[in-house]
Amino acid sequence: MTFRGVFPYLVSPIDQSGVVMEGVLTDLVDHLIATGIHGLTPLGSTGELAYLTCEQRRKVVDTVLAANRGRVPVVAGVASASTSDAVAQTEYMVEAGADGIPAMLESYFPISDDGVEAYFTAIAKAAKGRPVVLYTNPQFQRSDLSLQVIERLSHVENIRYIKDASTNTGRLLSIMERTHDRMKVFAASAHIPVCVMMIGGVGWMAGPACIVPRQSIALYAAAKAGDWASAMALQRPLWHVNEIFAKYSIAACVKTALELQGFPVGAPIAPQMPLGEAARAEIAAVLRSVGALGSIGGRIDNQGYPPNESNSDHRRL
């Protein structure tokens, strides 16, 4: 299976009692697929993977797979500080029906290059041939993937993609040069996707696509067609979405944006805190500026606030 295009990183809607809100998550999946996205990624950073219990992780993935009904690829995130747990997570995702695995390394103590390589190799083996996407983000990971480790891992048959969120485009070029066609690159939200596409990237795996799916798809289509002028015309206003994510916690920001768009996905998982009214208004203004928030049939008011959530007829983008 080949992965290309826009893969939104999904939020994990959890209610105050810790139960996954299956109906809301199903609605979000249906909405994103209807917009034309190319794949779905539950259990990433936007999905608050590090804050979920094992049972919650499994329920999120099971719900996404059931809602998807095989319409687009589902790549389900795996992250742990221990190799054995990461392997167990991968085995569950594969058995549940995930089409691929974005793999992340959590660590308390620094891990040697050999340990990092062994961790991702074990996940790839447990994936049983399904594509694995390496995820590297030195801003949050105590033990990152060095260029040498990435090159060695590119020779593992089913480690076929990487999402590098280092914000260093030169590092991406180094990865591409070292791995040749063995490993394809997805843009992260910290990068400007047009630039990544221009140097050979194959798509965008990021939280912002969850709240600006149509705009993200239009950007990808223009870049894929080589219409760089149109792609940049779309990219410039969308960069404001990334700026707002840099200012506020990403999960809280995406969940707030989805609430404003009519999806009652709930608060970020404690000890994260919900955003206040000023942040909410700022996010609404950014969404409105890129055409991701408006008033249709009176469902969203002039301040960008959603309708009363007791009404089940939530407006969709």
3-state secondary structure of 21: coil
Q: What distance in Å separates the CA atoms of residue 305 and residue 276, rounded to the nearest whole number? A: 13
**Is 251 within 8 Å of 48 (Cβ atoms)?**
yes
Q: What is the pLDDT of residues 191-205, one digit of tens each?
A: 789 999 999 999 999
- Residue 141's pLDDT is what? 66
pLDDT in tens, the chain (317 residues): 899 999 999 999 999 999 999 999 999 999 999 999 999 999 998 999 999 999 999 999 999 999 999 999 999 999 999 999 999 999 999 999 999 999 999 988 889 999 999 999 999 999 999 999 999 876 666 677 999 999 999 999 999 999 988 778 888 999 999 998 899 999 987 678 999 999 999 999 999 999 999 999 999 999 999 999 999 999 999 999 989 988 998 899 999 999 999 999 999 999 999 999 999 999 999 999 999 996 432 233 333 333 333 333 333 33
Integer CA distances (angstroms), 190 to 81, 139, 207, 222, 244, in order: 24, 11, 10, 20, 11
Per the domain annotation, does 136 fall within a domain? yes
* Domain span at 147: 5-231
Per the domain annotation, does 282 fall within a domain? no
Per the domain annotation, does 293 fall within a domain? no
**Is 119 within 8 Å of 94 (Cβ atoms)?**
no
CB atoms near residue 294 (< 10 Å):
13
Integer CA distances (angstroms), 72 to 97, 98, 170, 286, in order: 12, 11, 32, 29
CATH number of the domain that 82 lies in?
3.20.20.70
Per the domain annotation, does 216 fall within a domain? yes
3-state secondary structure of 184: strand
- Catalytic site includes residue 135: yes
For the chain, the maximum distance between any two Cα atoms, rounded to a whole number of angstroms, is 58
Catalytic annotation, pick one of 9, 135, 161, 220: 135
Catalytic annotation, pick one of 59, 163, 184, 255: 163
Strands ordered across the beta sheet of 203-206:
5-8, 203-206, 184-187, 159-164, 132-136, 101-105, 78-80
**How many domains does the chain divide into?**
1
3-state secondary structure of 3: coil
Closest CA to 215 of 183, 196, 250, 241: 241
**Is 214 within 8 Å of 191 (Cβ atoms)?**
no
Per the domain annotation, does 299 fall within a domain? no
Per the domain annotation, does 294 fall within a domain? no
Per the domain annotation, does 18 fall within a domain? yes
Per the domain annotation, does 316 fall within a domain? no
- Catalytic site includes residue 255: no
